[in-house]
Amino acid sequence: MSSRYVVFDNQRYDIVPSCIVFDWWTNGIIHMLFPQWVATLDFTYSSRWPIDKLTGKPAVISPEVRKNMNKEEWVKSYARGFTPPAAKKQTAIQQWLPYVAIIAVALVAVYMFVNIQAIQKDLVNLYNAINSIAK
């Protein structure tokens, strides 16, 4: 980790690796089908320190403590945050939902293709009927 802070809206927010939380990113159509594991830090507008995941309040770090933090501690806390949580078993719906969605899209495409051909035949018959009446 090369930087110890980020800048948003011209304000500096400090990064504390022990406050990093890993979540599944599921916003958007693609990520609903294929979620992505991302590192997140939550901040409040009133504090430059991230919200501690254990207390729910902004992390309070004094300058002395900050000075004593060495890179080894940063790497260890980052690695601790990266370890996945206890194995959660996926339900059958969660496991098979992407496959069901792909099959459903394919079935809708085939249904539309078949019906479009039938509608085209009906339109051709109607066109021929109108032409025979008009002559």
Contact call for residues 13 and 5 (beta carbons, < 8 A): yes
CA distances from 117 to 9, 53, 77, 94, 124 (A): 56, 58, 61, 36, 11
Task: Name the residue range of residue 46's domain.
Answer: 1-88
CA distances from 17 to 31, 32, 76, 78, 114 (A): 25, 27, 9, 5, 56
Which H or E run contains 24?
strand 21-25
- Asked if residue 102 and residue 61 are part of one domain, the reply reads no
Which H or E run contains 98?
helix 92-134
Q: Residue 89: which pLDDT band, with cuts at 50, 70 and 90? A: confident
Q: Residue 70: which pLDDT band, with cuts at 50, 70 and 90? A: low
Q: Decide: helix, strand or coil at residue 48.
A: coil
User: What value does the mean pLDDT take over residues 44-67?
Assistant: 75
- Asked if residue 111 and residue 83 are part of one domain, the reply reads no
> Given this model, what pLDDT does residue 101 score?
94
- Asked if residue 98 and residue 80 are part of one domain, the reply reads no
- Asked if residue 44 and residue 73 are part of one domain, the reply reads yes
Cβ within 8 Å of residue 49, ≥6 positions away:
13, 14, 16, 43, 58, 59, 60, 61
103 pLDDT more than 60: yes
How many structural domains are present in the chain?
2
On the 0-12 / 13-18 / 19+ scale of CB atoms within 10 A, 68 is exposed
- Asked if residue 102 and residue 79 are part of one domain, the reply reads no
> Given this model, what pLDDT does residue 3 score?
67
Terminal-to-terminal C-alpha distance of the chain: 82
